[in-house]
């Protein structure tokens, strides 16, 4: 009988101690306040303060704009939770982080779910069906803000790049060929005459105008006949009778 009681008592003690420890641990975790994963929701506080304003009451356009800004902040936090949750889960399994960070992430996720439902309810209160598309509008606004910030940072990035690679840029500018600049006064007071187009050699021969010949070529053509030109008549030689008469 004693051999049966001892193991049963041992199992009862072990499971009882585990139950007491788990209940105490859960109660401690429930009462423990974790560090918030996100900073305070300033856009939500602004919207609530505008909604509670009565003297004078805020206009509907201002309230709608504040609600959209609140939705933009919620979209940003949703994207961050989707990006951080898998990485934190892997780090928690490896023991690289503690339970506090993981519990703060879970608390922020639950709070964000309630925030999304509240924003959709407020949007439907202004316009029926607006709650279904308000987060799409907020997503587009978030992307536009990111693009604007990137465009505004371009001059700063360019100045930093010029300070870092200033010598290289000056050397490339000096190596580039520079075209001479013509003053405006010279172009206005000195009209440019049109340059006549050159006439090709074939066109000169077809028009019947032979090109000018050099002195050697002229003498050669005068002394001997050209093989291509027709035979020209020569002057007849003097008769010998006239020479004899002159001698007499």
**Mean pLDDT computed over 197-213:** 45
pLDDT grade for 202, boundaries at 50, 70 and 90? very low
| Residue 97 · residue 88 · CB < 8 Å | yes
| Residue 211 · residue 201 · CB < 8 Å | yes
Report the percent of the chain where pLDDT is more than 90. 42
pTM value is 0.55
Structure tokens at 177: 């060929």
pLDDT grade for 221, boundaries at 50, 70 and 90? very low
pLDDT grade for 203, boundaries at 50, 70 and 90? very low
Phi, psi of 57 (to 5 degrees): -70, 150
**Mean pLDDT computed over 143-159:** 92
Q: What is the pLDDT of residue 1?
A: 57
Q: What is the pLDDT of residue 21?
A: 80
Least confident stretch, 16-25, 39-48, 103-112: 16-25
pLDDT grade for 72, boundaries at 50, 70 and 90? very high
Structure tokens at 54: 């009565």
Question: Taking all residues of the chain, what is their mean pLDDT, rounded to a whole number?
Answer: 75
Q: What is the pLDDT of residue 42?
A: 94
**Mean pLDDT computed over 54-61:** 89
Q: What is the pLDDT of residue 218?
A: 44
**Mean pLDDT computed over 134-142:** 94
For residue range 230-248, list pLDDT tens digits in order: 444 444 455 544 445 445 4
Give me the DSSP letters along 98-145. -HHHHHHHHHHHHHHHHHHHHHHHHHHHHSTTGGGTHHHHHHHHHHHH
Structure tokens at 117: 């439902």
Q: What is the pLDDT of residue 208?
A: 44
Query: Above 80 in pLDDT, residue 118?
Result: yes
Report how far residue 176's alpha carbon sits from residue 214's, in angstroms, rounded to the nearest whole number.
47
Query: Above 70 in pLDDT, residue 35?
Result: yes
**Mean pLDDT computed over 204-233:** 43
Query: Above 90 in pLDDT, residue 70?
Result: yes
User: Directed axis angle between helix 60-94 and helix 99-126, to 10°?
Assistant: 160
**What burial class does residue 129 get, using C-beta atoms within 10 Å of its C-beta: 0-12 exposed, 13-18 middle, 19+ buried?**
exposed
pLDDT grade for 10, boundaries at 50, 70 and 90? confident
| Residue 43 · residue 69 · CB < 8 Å | yes
């Amino acid at each position: 009988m004693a051999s049966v009681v001892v193991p049963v008592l041992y199992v009862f003690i072990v499971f009882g101690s585990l139950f007491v420890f788990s209940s105490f641990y859960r109660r401690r975790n429930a009462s423990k306040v974790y560090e918030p994963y996100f900073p305070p929701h300033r856009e939500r506080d602004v919207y609530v303060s505008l909604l509670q304003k009565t003297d004078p009451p805020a206009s509907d356009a201002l309230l709608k704009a504040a609600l959209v800004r609140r939705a933009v902040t919620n979209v940003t936090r949703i994207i961050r939770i989707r990006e951080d949750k898998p990485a934190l889960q892997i780090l928690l399994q490896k023991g690289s982080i503690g339970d506090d960070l993981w519990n703060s992430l879970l608390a922020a996720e639950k709070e964000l779910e309630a925030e999304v439902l509240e924003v959709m309810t407020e949007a439907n209160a202004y316009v029926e069906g607006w709650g279904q598309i308000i987060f799409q509008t907020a997503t587009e606004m978030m992307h536009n803000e990111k693009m604007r910030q990137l465009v505004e940072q371009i001059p700063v990035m360019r100045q930093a790049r010029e300070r870092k690679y200033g010598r290289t840029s000056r050397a490339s500018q000096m190596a580039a060929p520079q075209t001479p600049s013509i003053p405006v006064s010279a172009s206005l007071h000195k009209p440019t005459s049109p340059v006549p187009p050159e006439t090709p050699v074939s066109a000169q021969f077809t028009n019947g105008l032979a090109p000018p010949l050099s002195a050697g070529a002229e003498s050669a053509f005068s002394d001997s006949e050209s093989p291509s030109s027709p035979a020209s008549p020569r002057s007849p030689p003097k008769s010998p009778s006239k020479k004899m008469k002159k001698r007499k």
